[in-house]
Amino acid sequence: MARAIRNLKDARCLTSNHLRDINKTRLSELIRPSGYFNIKAERLKAFLALLHKEYKGSMKGMGKENPLVLRGRLLGVKGIGPETADSILLYAFNYPVFVVDAYTRRILTRHRILSEKSNYEEIQDFFHKNLPHDAGLFNEYHALIVMVGKEYCKRRPICDGCPLKDIN
């Protein structure tokens, strides 16, 4: 990802106007190091279309939108699902929205905190009901979950040394 961003910077394309105006083939070439570059270019273009149509190309303007309205608009963009929409709300705009990813699901179900049948909204609701609604806290929790997921709660778990080993 860092190489793709560097490519965009080097090409002087790291603004919403430049990204909107660059053709999809060139954008794909620039973001090739990120993997799935053709799909990502298409999705980035769809996001930029929303940004420019509804918010005149201004992330600042987008960030002033009611978070529930913004989430709905983001979910209406091809390729943006709940995890991506919530990541934008939390990380770009500092809204207190908990991001649920595969690590979150895996950790909570392996420790029998939630059922394997729990959907995205149920998992997110678990955090929203049990933690103060604070963007910084949600950011930190998510970062810690990702760390535990990458280091210990892999597809084949490494339970020795896991900080959550004794939770059950």
Residues 124-151 as b or e (16 or more Cβ within 10 Å = b)? bebbeeeeeeebeebbebbeebbebbee
pTM > 0.85: yes
Cα→Cα distances 153→83, 124, 142, Å: 19, 19, 14
Average pLDDT, the chain: 95
Q: Are 43 and 31 in contact (CB under 8 A)?
A: no
- 12 burial (CB, 10 Å; 0-12 / 13-18 / 19+) is exposed
Tokens (6 digits) for 81: 């699902």
Distance of CA 107 to the CA centre of its chain: 18
Give me the CATH topology for the region 97-168: Endonuclease Iii, domain 2 (1.10.1670)
pLDDT digits (tens, 9 = 90+) for 21-41: 999 999 999 999 988 999 999
pLDDT digits (tens, 9 = 90+) for 53-85: 999 999 999 999 999 999 999 999 999 999 999
Tokens (6 digits) for 138: 């949600």
